[in-house]
Structure 1
Amino acid sequence: MTGRQDPALSRRTLIGAGLGVGAAVFAAAGVGAGSAHAVGGSAAGAGSGRGHAFLAAAMDAYPDHGGVRLAQSYSDQAGLFSTAFTYDNALAVLAHLAAGTADGRGRAVVLGDALLYAQAHDPAYDDGRLRQAYNVGPYVFFDGVPQPDGFVRADGTANVGTQFGFTGTAVGDMAWAGIALSALARRTGARRFLAGAVRIGEWIERNARTDEPLGGYKFGVDGAGAKLPFSSTEHNTDLVCLFGRLGRLTGERVWGERRARAEAFVKKMWEPGEGFFYTGTNDGVTVNRAPIPEDAQTWTHLALDSRSYSRSLDWAAAELAVLDRSDRPNSTVPAGQSYEGVTFSSASLLADEEAPIAEFQPRPDRNGVWFEGTAHLALALRDRGGRGDEVRARRLIASVERAQELLGGAQTVGGKALPERSGVVSASSPLDTGFGFGYYPYRHVGATAWYLLAVTRTNPLRG
């Protein structure tokens, strides 16, 4: 099993023109002091409340520029400043809606409208696409200075969307934005949200559909607009949900055919002998057999709702399980603490602990816990509801809640202190995904949103 794979196969790969920019900022994060055993996991109500407080802080850290704002994805210590990833903000919409409160609904609407604004005001395109990331404005720089044409680099060339050049368009990011907008359409009845989701679906159909032997939908386009040749299990799983929802909301049968195409690709990635899904394909012909990512195991269950494939949850829970302790090589967990969960992929378990994850980045901890994945594994187990699933899910959620209590202390968003013990860090220690990038102990909108979805038993990938 190889330790590296073409990075473009992950939704989280930096596909913009500025690939690798900002790598130097990912130093090991500071973490809070204290003993995990002294906390023992917060009560779900308190942990949920602190999670929502973090999402609100990430959304409110900057001036409100005409009512258009997104949430900053990571705490300032990550060094990405006001970068708001589309995927993270889509998850925030879903977590706010899951709260079932007037404030949550209001915040979800504001974020949904910001995604629609970005879709309608791209200075280079008017075809329904969304970029991988924006500034929180979304076309306002982190210091509040308007940037209607995107950030301009030192050489004078436009770097549309955000200061680090996350300017490409990935099908997975687009699908999650469409899922969030369709949820808003169903909850509010506002036609603008359904119209935005339909534009996303049509862009994917026009730009990513493929007739290659394995079928399905391709990865997307890079920052220059060039189509990427890869196809991802995870992306096509997202489309099973998005296309299914669009079919139900519009009544148009064509979305059912598109859903079936995406689902057929996902099922071709199934390994029946061992009970897991492969990551995808580079060329549309050959299945990539390594590394095996965690989210391809959990999201498939959440989207397909099929007992025939639910063994993937058992594979992920067993084969990607990790326990991060303070005495581990390269662990940044404070003395006396430990966290259990899952890692990002099979390659994460084989990472070279003597080498930096990437240039200017720290060395990885093979047992670093990926809290985002740990949360959606917990949700998937709860959704499946088999013997022992709820017990396993509660253990995973308790670990995430201890992380919210004890990791990522003294971190800020927009220079402002975060509410105490709020927000879940993306990883317990520096973690090498095996796809060309890492996760680190910075408070993260995406990880926090998945935790909130797990606590409320909200499956975002089903109708």
Structure 2
Amino acid sequence: MTGNALLPGWWNNEENKWLEDKEMISTSTGNLVWVIIVWLRYCELTGDETYLEAALNLGQWIFEHTYDTRGDGGYTGGYLGWANDPPEKLYWKSTEHNIDIYVAFMKLFELTGDSIWKNRALHAKGFVEAMWDSIGGHFWTGTLVDGVTENKDVLPADVNTWGFMALQGYKEAVAWVEDNCKVDPCPKGCGFKGFDFNDDRDGVWFEGTAHMVIAFQILSENLKAGEFLAELRRAQNEANNANGRGIVAACHDGVTTGFDWVYNNRLHIGATAWYIFAEKGYNPYWGTGMLPSDANGDGSINVQDVICIINVILDTGTASGSPDCNDDGNVNVQDVICVINKILGG
């Protein structure tokens, strides 16, 4: 089947016309990278490399159009504009986007063996690590348009949970979200508890609540994971505008983000997808479940996990599972010793 894809949008009854959102048809670096991650996961699961060339082409486009050398390096935000207008390059840099790029490019390296992708991945990782605020115990959202100045105006939850999932460290970031973004109960009287997008705690953001469930699962904090997973299950059936299948974005309309957009009480693909991941105990960055010490994500703990952790320490590979064996928030030689002890029954 061939033809033109319809642009995303919605019918406005009051204006009696079809409306479109510029953001939906623009080119966000982070959104493109998630497509690469999905394609490569398909390759890993099936051995079918149908989408590998597309992933390589898209990765090359991201490198050529968003690679940045200002400040701490990294990659810029993409392009903004309507289909028929010249696109506006976005010069700010997002920590979240660079987390995604690190994972996607490391996966390209692992699937192709081409070290150029590893170097490009580490360029993104270096930016992410530079955005870590060791005093506050959280990641900054990224930079302003100068590519150097840290954006300290907004403190999102997701950059912290995603940084933890992707970089296999930074346990403090999860604690920061728990301490600063937890909503219990919703101030609007919605009857739900969970986590907000940012630290103003004006409502429950269900996608971010699923992020925290997965983070708790990785940390083996099972009581907390179960508590908030139960809230997501309840939201599927009881939240306003729920349909018993999908998950709404927020427990009420107008949950703020600190940026120029809000989350409303509408069914949401992102919230639903992350709820499924939470139900499965699945880290979508590395495509694995949450067996502690199973660094390579193959469902067992053995010498291959020792090798995997050593590769993570040396930056010669990544972990598809949980390499932080001793649960101290870092991946180092102590985790190698920890896994060896588990293998030997110690």
In the superposition, the TM-score normalised over structure 1's length comes to 0.56
| Contact 1:278-1:290 within 8 A present in 2 as well | no
- Of 273, 277, 292, which aligns to 2:155? 292
**Partner-residue secondary structure (3-state), 2:51:** helix
Match of 2:217 in 1: 382
Letter in 1 for 2:263: Y
**Secondary structure of 1:288's aligned partner:** coil
1:394 aligns with 2:252: no
Q: Is 2:255 the counterpart of 1:255?
A: no
Q: Structure 1 segments of 4 or more deviating over 6 A? A: 140-143
CA offset digits 1:33-66 (Å, max 9, x no partner): xxxxxxxxxxxxxxxxxxxxxxxxxxxxxxxxx4
**Structure 2 contact 240–251 (Cα < 8 Å) conserved:** no
Query: What residue is the counterpart of 1:434 in the other structure?
Result: 258
Partner of 1:455: 279
1:441 and 1:140, CA in 2 relative to 1: closer, same or farther beyond 3 A?
A: closer
Query: What is the letter of the counterpart of residue 147 of structure 2?
Result: G
Q: Distance in 2 between matches of 1:384 and 1:265?
A: 25
Contact 1:377 1:393 in 2 (8 A): yes
Give 5+ residue unaligned stretches, structure 1.
1-65, 69-120, 122-136, 144-153, 350-365, 412-419
Higher RCO (C-alpha 8 Å, min separation 6): 1
Note if contact 2:7-2:20 (Cα within 8 Å) is conserved in structure 1. no
Partner residue in 2 for 1:342: 195
Residues in 2 aligned to 1:163 and 1:438: alpha-carbon distance in whole angstroms: 17
Deviation at 1:277, TM superposition (A): 0.4
Alignment-derived partner of residue 180 in structure 1: 38
Q: Which residue of the partner structure matches residue 422 of structure 1? A: 245
Residue in structure 1 matched with residue 6 of structure 2 by the alignment: 139
Measured against aligned partners, the alpha-carbon deviations of 1:228-250 in whole angstroms (never above 9, x if no partner) come to 11000000000111011111111
How far did residue 163 of structure 1 move?
Answer: 3.8
Q: With the length of structure 2 as denominator, give the TM-score of the two structures.
A: 0.74
Distance 2:178 2:7 in 1: 42
d(CA) in 2 for partners of 1:429 and 1:220?
A: 30
Deviation at 1:168, TM superposition (A): 1.2
Q: Which amino acid aligns with 1:375?
A: A
Residue identity matched to 1:164: D
Of 164, 171, 178 in structure 1, the residue corresponding to residue 21 of structure 2 is: 164
Q: Percent identity at matched positions?
A: 32
- Match in the other structure for 1:321: 182
Report the alpha carbon displacement of residue 140 of structure 1 after superposing the two structures with TM: 7.5
Q: Which amino acid in 2 is paired with 1:238?
A: D
Q: Quote the Cα distance in structure 2 between the aligned partners of 1:394 and 1:444.
A: 22
Task: Output the CA distance in 1 between the equivalents of 2:67 and 2:58.
Answer: 13
Q: CA deviation at 1:441?
A: 1.3
Q: Distance in 2 between matches of 1:180 and 1:408?
A: 31
In 2: Cα distance, 1:384 partner to 1:140 partner: 40
- Look up the SS of the partner of 2:248 in the other structure: coil
Show CA shifts across 1:204-249 (max 9, x none): 1000001102210010111232211100000000011101111111
Alpha-carbon distance in structure 2 between the residues aligned to 1:461 and 1:213: 26
Residue 62 of structure 2 aligns with which residue? Answer: 204
Residue of structure 1 aligned with 2:71, choices 206, 213, 238? 213
Instruction: Quote the Cα distance in structure 2 between the aligned partners of 1:211 and 1:384.
Output: 35
SS of the equivalent of 2:192 reads strand
Question: What is the distance in 2 between the residues matched to 1:140 and 1:177?
Answer: 18
Q: Aligned partners of 1:183, 1:138: CA distance in 2, in Å?
A: 25
Q: Which residue identity is paired with 1:313?
A: V
Query: What is the CA–CA distance in structure 2 between the aligned matches of 1:265 and 1:217, rounded to whole Å?
Result: 8
CA distance in 1, matches of 2:176, 2:223: 17
**What's the CA shift string for 1:105-126, capped at 9, x where partnerless?**
xxxxxxxxxxxxxxxx8xxxxx
Q: Which amino acid aligns with 1:379?
A: I
Aligned positions, number:
274
Q: Which amino acid aligns with 1:370?
A: W
Distance 2:153 2:226 in 1: 30
Cα distance in 1 for partners of 2:131, 2:9 equals: 41
State how far apart, in whole Å, the 2-side matches of 1:140 and 1:342 are: 32
Distance 1:140 1:203 in 2: 22
| CA shift for structure 1 position 399 | 0.8
Aligned-pair CA distance for 1:285: 1.4
Equivalent position amino acid for 1:192 in 2: T
The whole-number CA distance in structure 1 between the counterparts of 2:90 and 2:8 is: 28
Work out the CA distance in 1 between the residues paired with 2:87 and 2:48. 31
**C-alpha RMSD of the superposition:** 2.2
Residue in structure 1 matched with residue 173 of structure 2 by the alignment: 312
Note if contact 1:324-1:428 (Cα within 8 Å) is conserved in structure 2. Answer: no
Instruction: Name the amino acid aligned to 1:139.
Output: L
